Every structure is written in structure tokens, then in C-alpha cells.
């Protein structure tokens, strides 16, 4: 089953509607509008130059800034309203709101990205728990660049293609729906299984996509600490 864009977000996608990610361009679902001022100006250059080999100056600037970026927590621009509560390995736990409006999530940045020469913004993978709507396992990805959609997303009923965007975990491959540089699982019924496998002994999770210019990409997330981060996420939203 392919999940098509919806007018109203649920689970982790509510991060966008709640204003936590107003610094990001676009939305994960159709009809969801974000702030398009400074964010679009900031991301316009990377999107226009995506898939282009960086210049020498560009490479030198990234090397100079890399140590500073590594010291930052996994917090996308605009999420400053959320409160950080714990860190487990590469995974950060954040909480926003109170009572039934409370939103809790575990989030991480990719450990490695391939190819290294392609221009793109920082990526994030996160799993959200939303107390008031009984959402427990919403999996979402901020890719950091626009991706080609899956064949079934373009033409419903089409068979999956090898180049379709996917979440790869152990021997499992899960299709993704993409929009405006963001992605989520095609089939919401698979979310609990994916989160369970992420909490098991799998050492890594890989997001594979194809850029709009036809270049295959791969973002690898380390899963050490995810089980603890997810437990803390659930505990925080149970209070």
C-alpha cells in the first residue's frame, strides 16, 4: 500500500505543522505550508548546485567547519522550541509541549553519506511519539535534497523499481514516499516493525534514493543507542 500525501499531518509530520521545523523548506505532505523566507534563501544554493562537484574553495570551507558541526546535537534548524532531554549514542531525545499535546521524538544524523562529492543539506532520521493521537512509531526522514519519487508514487499501481527511494534495515527494504526533500514510509502499517527492527541488533539503517539529476545516494545511520533513545522517548510522552 502506498501512502499518498495528506492534507493533515500525523505523528512526526506534526513537527512541521507545530512550527518546530519552520526553518526547513517544503513539507512532508501536500497542503502543509512552512515558512518560506530565510529557509528558502538558505537552501536555494545547495538545491541549485546539487550533484555538482564542489570547488576547491568549497571543500576547504567544509573541512574548516566540520569539527564545529560534529559538536552540535542532532537538531534541525527551527527545532529550538523543543527541549533536549537525553543523548544515547548518535540519538538525541527531544520533547515539545505538555499534556495530550506533548510530542516526543528520537532523532539522529547520518554517520556516513555517499557519494561524498554531492552537495546537499544535513539529513535527519527521526521517530516520533504523539501522546494525544496515540501515535507511537512515526518514521520520517529529512533528506537534505530533493529526490525522485517512487514509481508507484508517480503512477499508482506501478511495480516497485530498483531506484525507488527506500529504507534498508538488515535484509528488509521498505519503500518511501518523498516530497520536498522529506520522506516517510509508504505503508504506515510497517512503522511498528521498522522501529522494532531498529531497536534489535541491526547495527545500521540505510536510506537510499536517487537525486533529481539521476545520481544514486546513500545515507547510513548508526543504530547503537536507538533502543535506549526510543524507550526514553516513550517514557517522556507517557508522563
Assigned domain for 141 exists? yes
Residue 6: inside a domain, yes or no? Answer: no
Residue 47 has φ and ψ, to the nearest 5°, of: -70, -40
Range of the structural domain that residue 157 is part of: 11-238
pTM of the predicted model, to two decimals?
0.71
CATH of the domain at 34: 2.60.40.1880
Picking from 41, 28, 194, 50, the residue whose alpha carbon sits closest to that of residue 124 is: 28
pLDDT tens, the chain, 239 aa long:
444 333 223 333 344 333 343 332 232 323 222 222 233 333 333 433 444 433 333 333 333 333 333 334 565 655 668 899 999 999 999 999 888 889 999 999 999 999 998 889 999 999 999 988 888 999 999 999 999 999 999 999 899 898 999 999 999 999 999 998 999 999 999 999 999 999 998 999 999 999 998 999 999 999 999 999 999 999 999 98
Per the structure, how many domains does the chain have?
1
Report the 10 Å Cβ neighbour count for 95: 20
Domain membership of residue 88 (yes or no) is: yes
Let me know if residue 1 belongs to a domain: no
Give a yes or no: residue 109 inside a domain. Answer: yes
Find out whether 190 and 166 touch, Cβ atoms under 8 Å: no
Say what the pLDDT of residue 167 is: 98
Instruction: State the Cα–Cα distance between residues 183 and 163, nearest whole angstrom.
Output: 15
| Residue 101, pLDDT score | 87
- Whether residue 207 lies inside any domain: the answer is yes
- Report d(CA 191, CA 148) in Å as an integer: 22
Question: Which of 98, 93, 54 is closest to 74 using CA atoms?
Answer: 93
Q: What is the pLDDT of residue 24?
A: 29
Look-up of cell digits 537534505: 144
Amino acid at each position: 500500500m502506498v501512502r499518498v500525501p495528506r492534507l493533515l499531518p500525523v505523528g512526526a509530520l506534526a513537527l512541521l505543522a507545530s512550527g518546530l521545523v519552520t526553518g526547513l523548506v517544503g513539507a512532508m505532505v501536500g497542503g502543509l505550508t512552512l515558512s518560506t523566507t530565510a529557509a528558502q534563501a538558505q537552501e536555494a544554493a545547495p538545491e541549485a548546485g546539487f550533484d555538482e562537484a564542489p570547488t576547491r574553495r568549497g571543500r576547504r570551507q567544509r573541512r574548516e567547519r566540520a569539527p564545529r558541526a560534529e559538536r552540535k546535537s542532532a537538531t534541525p534548524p527551527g527545532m529550538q522550541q523543543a527541549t533536549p532531554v537525553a543523548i544515547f549514542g548518535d540519538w538525541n531525545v527531544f520533547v515539545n509541549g505538555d499534556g495530550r499535546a506533548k510530542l516526543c521524538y528520537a532523532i539522529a544524523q547520518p554517520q556516513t553519506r555517499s557519494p561524498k562529492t554531492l552537495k546537499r543539506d544535513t539529513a535527519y532520521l527521526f521517530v516520533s511519539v504523539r501522546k494525544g493521537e496515540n501515535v507511537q512509531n512515526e518514521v520520517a526522514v529529512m533528506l537534505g535534497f530533493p529526490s525522485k519519487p517512487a514509481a508507484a508514487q508517480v503512477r499508482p499501481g506501478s511495480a516497485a523499481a530498483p531506484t525507488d527511494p527506500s529504507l534498508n534495515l538488515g535484509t528488509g527494504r521498505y519503500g518511501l514516499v518523498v516530497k520536498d526533500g522529506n520522506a516517510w514510509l509508504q505503508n504506515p502499517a510497517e512503522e511498528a516493525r521498522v522501529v522494532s527492527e531498529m531497536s534489535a541488533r541491526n547495527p545500521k539503517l540505510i536510506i537510499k534514493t536517487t537525486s533529481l539529476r539521476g545520481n544514486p545516494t546513500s545515507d547510513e545511520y548508526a543504530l547503537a543507542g536507538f533502543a535506549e533513545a526510543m524507550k526514553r522517548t516513550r517514557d517522556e510522552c507517557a508522563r
